[in-house]
Amino acid sequence: MTFRGSVGCNWRYPEFNDLASMGWNDTVSSAQGISCPITLWEHKDFRGAHQTYYGYNAYVGDGMNDKASSISFDVR
C-alpha cells in the first residue's frame, strides 16, 4: 500500500492518524519516503514511540516492525 500526502512535507494528515481504519494497524514492516521522510508512530493520533525513516527501508527494525498505528510526513 502507498500512502501519499498532497500538501507536502511537515504535515500530519488526518487520514493517516489511525491506520486501523484502513486495515493496516500494526502491519507495517517497510517504509519509503520519496520526497520527504516519514515517521511511524506506535499509537493512533501520532502518539507514543516513533521512528523517522529516510529513503527506502526494506525493514523498519524491531522497534517499529508491525507496531505502527499512524504515519506522518516530515521535513528533510
Whole-number Å distance between alpha carbons of 62 and 51: 11
Whole-number Å distance between alpha carbons of 75 and 56: 16
pLDDT band at 21 (very low <50, low <70, confident <90, very high): very high
Closest CA to 42 of 10, 20, 15: 20
Q: What fold, for 19-73?
A: Gamma-B Crystallin; domain 1 (2.60.20)
Task: Name the pTM for this structure.
Answer: 0.85
* In the chain, domain spans: 19-73
pLDDT digits (tens, 9 = 90+) for 25-76: 999 999 888 778 889 999 999 999 999 999 899 999 999 999 999 998 876 5
Strand partners, 31: 57
